[in-house]
Amino acid sequence: MHTQRFHQFGAPCLMLAATSWLATAHMAAAQEATPVTVVHAAHADVAEYASGIGTVQAYRSVLVRARVDGNLDSINFVEGQTVHPGDLLATIDPRPYAATLAQARAKRAADQALLENARRDLARYDNLVRTNVASRQQADTQAALVDQDIATIQGDEAAIDSAALNLSFCRITAPIEGVVGLRLIDIGNLIHATDATGIVSITQVHPISLVFTLPQDELPAVRAAIAAEPAASGGLPVAATGQDGVTPISQGHLVTINNTIDTSTGTITLKAEFPNTDNKLWPGQFSNGLVRLRTAHDALTLPPAAIQHGPDGLYVYVVKPDQTVTKQAVMVGYQDERAVIVTAGLSGGETVVLSGQLRLAPGMKVDAHQQGAS
């Protein structure tokens, strides 16, 4: 009998007690403040930038090739060495070309002897013509022979110059200042002027160039920034940045904007130049080009993390004086990794939630901590 009464009345009592406990727990949780980090929407001057992915290129690049055929006698550089114009890089066996030069000089000497003899004969014919011993035709023929010998010597001089030039090509020198790469051929090989591989490449890295692209919509702003830049400053400043797109690697200036827009990508190509005295940029390196376009004065700003994306657009959580939060729709303009300009929705001075938004809902109570406070 007692057991039956427990089954009839004990279970409902336990259920009521559990429901009451859960309701109390939910009320306590609702009253418990959610910890969040906050910032104040503040007015500040914001520098607006355009950033594009680019590639570092050598200011000048030369593939050094032989200009005459011959056996490679020596390599006179160390891979990775910095060379200057005129520095000896390699030598080709000069003996065949020295012999050709000697032959050309010997032929000129022989032809000069013939010219001197022809001139003496001409002088004799001129004397005989005056005494009517020889005809004027004989004198004219001899004068033509003298002119022919003079032309022959002129050809000999050209042959000597050509032979001397080919001999000089046996000394292969650096045409520009730069860094030599890995050698492409070894001593002892027979090389030809028609070889496509060459001997070594030289890249000039002081200065160095960065070629990068921007969306075509940024072109008017870039052109306006160029027009506003004082001529004495050396050009529109450009920063080469690391993979994060923010940290500057090197500072330079804009050289030119390409004369056409790439219709396949809708981008415009720009070229910047950097002194690169610290060698932080290297040919083939990927880097972002960061161009300062303008400065927005007294703009209302927030950190990017404060902006939330919802089905109805962008919004932020604003902390009210009673430490509860409300959802506020906003509109934004320029934004980067450091700041977002708020163009509508806030007036300035509001306390905005920076982190912890995922646990919030309108009306919830928060325990706000200022950003950077310990």
Q: What pLDDT score was predicted for residue 67?
A: 95
Please say whether the beta carbons of 241 and 249 come within 8 A.
Answer: yes
In the chain, DSSP finds a helix count (H) and a strand count (E) of: 4, 20
Could you report the per-residue pLDDT of 125-168, keeping only the tens digit for each?
788 878 887 788 888 888 999 999 999 999 999 999 999 999 99
Please say whether the beta carbons of 272 and 257 come within 8 A.
Answer: no
Q: What pLDDT score was predicted for residue 13?
A: 42
CATH top-level class of 49-59+204-295: mainly beta
Are the folds of 33-46+298-370 and 67-92+172-198 the same?
Answer: no
Q: Which two tokens stand for residue 329?
A: 């729709």
Name the phi and psi angles at 67, rounded to 5: -105, -5
Could you report the per-residue pLDDT of 55-88, keeping only the tens digit for each?
999 999 999 999 999 999 999 999 999 999 999 9
Looking at domain 33-46+298-370, which CATH architecture does it have?
Answer: Beta Barrel (2.40)
DSSP state of 170: T
pLDDT exceeds 50 at position 18? no
Q: Which of 166, 158, 161, 201 is closest to 68 using CA atoms?
A: 166
Mean pLDDT of 255-262: 94
User: Helix, strand or coil for residue 43?
Assistant: strand
Amino acid making up residue 296 = A
Beta strands 366-370 and 286-302 are unpaired
Residue with tokens 């570092």: 56
Q: Which two tokens stand for residue 217?
A: 């919509």
Mean pLDDT of 212-219: 94
DSSP state of 365: B
Residue spans of the domains in the chain: they are: 33-46+298-370, 49-59+204-295, 67-92+172-198, 94-169
Q: Please give the CATH topology (third level) of the domain spanning 67-92+172-198.
A: OB fold (Dihydrolipoamide Acetyltransferase, E2P) (2.40.50)
Residue with tokens 């509508």: 344
Give residue 31's pLDDT band: very low, low, confident or very high (50, 70, 90). low
Q: Using CB atoms within 10 A of its CB, is residue 255 exposed (0-12), middle (13-18) or buried (19+)?
A: middle
Q: Which two tokens stand for residue 23?
A: 């309701």
Taking the domain 94-169, which CATH number applies? 1.10.287
CA distance 11 to 21: 16
Amino acid making up residue 25 = A
User: Helix, strand or coil for residue 236?
Assistant: coil
